């Protein structure tokens, strides 16, 4: 049986993505047929900076563009190229040339400097496919889906609307069939309205979704400061966090190196590393590869 083909979006070339792709290639090619969205000119620049040879079987989907790679520098041209690489990988899936997309890290400020309107990969996917993509991060021990993502903390409470949360939970149900712990927003999950009333919205959405799907899948609102204790983690592998740091701070404290980013509720499979461009160690040979390898494995699991 032939191995699946994975389109690798190369990320910001001023960061650690290309080093991770190159140093992991021997292991990744045992799992799938990787095709890297980058052109030969930039690939030569990267291998020269890293002082390593290009593997003979390193297949590329050429993406037009050229600039000087500057390790650790936030640059509009590098940001634009990471976007073009990602778009190339998406289109490979749409054309049936790849079974999934795995993304290496972009730099959001570099995207902004290049004039792009998107806040990141998930925002682009949402607008490209006109679907409410769900950002879920984690590893087999614990996954966290984010109800709100990259928005200011002061805007989170106003973003918790019944209709939006209900739709989010129904979409999540399509991809996840296991029990899900839904976190409250406030300390003590609001203490029955003493510390806030957003939990009433959360509770209503949970109750109505469970009734609609005829399954007690969603539980909560769970008090956030105890949700990730060993007691709760014995019963739940999947969580919904109301905001970015509420879910990702405990996840990264427990599973930083091995976590991946998975986009749900889309017509294509997309997974990613769960870390940034690490400009401070770019082209030093120090980049860790475990999150990337796990992202590829997750894509293959979703494809199977």
| CA–CA separation, 261 and 284 (whole Å) | 25
Band the pLDDT of 193: cuts 50, 70, 90: confident
Query: 243-292: per-residue pLDDT in tens?
Result: 999 999 999 999 988 899 999 999 999 999 989 999 999 999 999 999 99
* 155 plus 175 within the same structural domain: yes
* 148 plus 249 within the same structural domain: yes
* 2 plus 122 within the same structural domain: yes
pTM: 0.88
**Which position has the token pair 């939990």?**
199
CATH of the domain at 1: 3.40.718.10
* 240 plus 227 within the same structural domain: yes
DSSP 3-state of 42: helix
* 274 plus 194 within the same structural domain: no
* 125 plus 7 within the same structural domain: yes
| CA–CA separation, 260 and 91 (whole Å) | 22
Q: Is the pLDDT confidence value at 188 over 90? A: no
**Poorest-pLDDT segment among 26-30, 123-127, 184-188:** 184-188
Band the pLDDT of 1: cuts 50, 70, 90: low
* 43 plus 146 within the same structural domain: no
Backbone angles phi, psi at 161, to 5 degrees: -110, 145
* 92 plus 163 within the same structural domain: no
* 183 plus 40 within the same structural domain: no
Band the pLDDT of 189: cuts 50, 70, 90: confident
pLDDT cut 70: percent of the chain above it = 99
| pLDDT score, position 257 | 83
Mean pLDDT computed over 191-204: 84
Mean pLDDT computed over 65-71: 97
User: What rounded mean pLDDT belongs to the chain?
Assistant: 95
Domain tally for the chain?
2
Query: 131-154: per-residue pLDDT in tens?
Result: 999 999 999 899 999 999 888 999
How many CA within 13 A on the CB side of residue 152? Answer: 3
* 36 plus 77 within the same structural domain: yes
Domain range for residue 112?
1-131+266-304
| pLDDT score, position 200 | 96
Q: Is 202 left (phi over 0), alpha (psi -120 to 50) or beta?
A: alpha
| pLDDT score, position 190 | 64
Q: Answer with the residue of higher pLDDT: 304 or 231.
A: 231
* 119 plus 169 within the same structural domain: no
Backbone angles phi, psi at 132, to 5 degrees: -85, 75
Mean pLDDT computed over 105-109: 96
Band the pLDDT of 195: cuts 50, 70, 90: confident
| pLDDT score, position 100 | 98
| CA–CA separation, 189 and 192 (whole Å) | 8
How many CA within 13 A on the CB side of residue 169? Answer: 36
> What is the torsion angle, in degrees rounded to the nearest 10, for the CA atoms of residue 120, residue 122, residue 127 and residue 130?
180
| pLDDT score, position 237 | 94
Band the pLDDT of 111: cuts 50, 70, 90: very high
N- to C-terminal Cα separation, the chain:
12
* 182 plus 299 within the same structural domain: no
């Amino acid at each position: 049986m032939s191995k699946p083909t994975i389109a690798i979006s190369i990320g910001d070339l001023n960061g650690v993505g290309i080093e991770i792709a190159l140093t992991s290639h021997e292991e990744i090619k045992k799992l799938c047929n990787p095709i890297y969205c980058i052109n030969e000119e930039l690939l030569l620049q990267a291998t020269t900076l890293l002082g390593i040879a290009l593997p003979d079987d390193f297949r590329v989907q050429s993406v037009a563009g050229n600039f000087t790679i500057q390790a650790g520098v936030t640059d509009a041209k590098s940001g634009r190229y990471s976007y073009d690489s990602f778009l190339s990988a998406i289109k490979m899936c749409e054309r049936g040339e790849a079974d999934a997309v795995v993304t290496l890290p972009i730099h959001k400020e570099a995207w902004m400097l290049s004039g792009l309107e998107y806040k990141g990969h998930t925002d682009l996917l949402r607008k490209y496919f006109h679907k409410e993509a769900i950002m879920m991060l984690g590893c087999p021990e614990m996954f966290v889906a984010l109800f709100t993502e990259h928005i200011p903390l002061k805007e989170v409470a106003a973003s918790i609307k019944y209709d939006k949360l209900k739709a989010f939970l129904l979409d999540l149900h399509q991809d996840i069939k296991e029990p899900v712990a839904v976190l409250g927003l406030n300390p003590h999950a609001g203490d029955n309205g003493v510390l806030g009333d957003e939990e009433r919205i959360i509770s209503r959405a949970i109750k109505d979704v469970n009734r609609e799907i005829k399954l007690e899948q969603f539980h909560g609102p769970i008090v956030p400061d105890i949700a990730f204790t060993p007691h709760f983690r014995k019963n739940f592998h999947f969580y919904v966090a109301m905001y970015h740091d509420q879910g990702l701070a405990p996840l990264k404290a427990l599973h930083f190196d091995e976590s991946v980013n998975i986009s749900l509720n889309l017509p294509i499979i997309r997974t990613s590393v769960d870390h940034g461009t690490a400009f401070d160690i770019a082209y030093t040979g120090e980049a860790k590869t475990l999150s990337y390898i796990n992202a590829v494995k997750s894509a293959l699991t979703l494809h199977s």
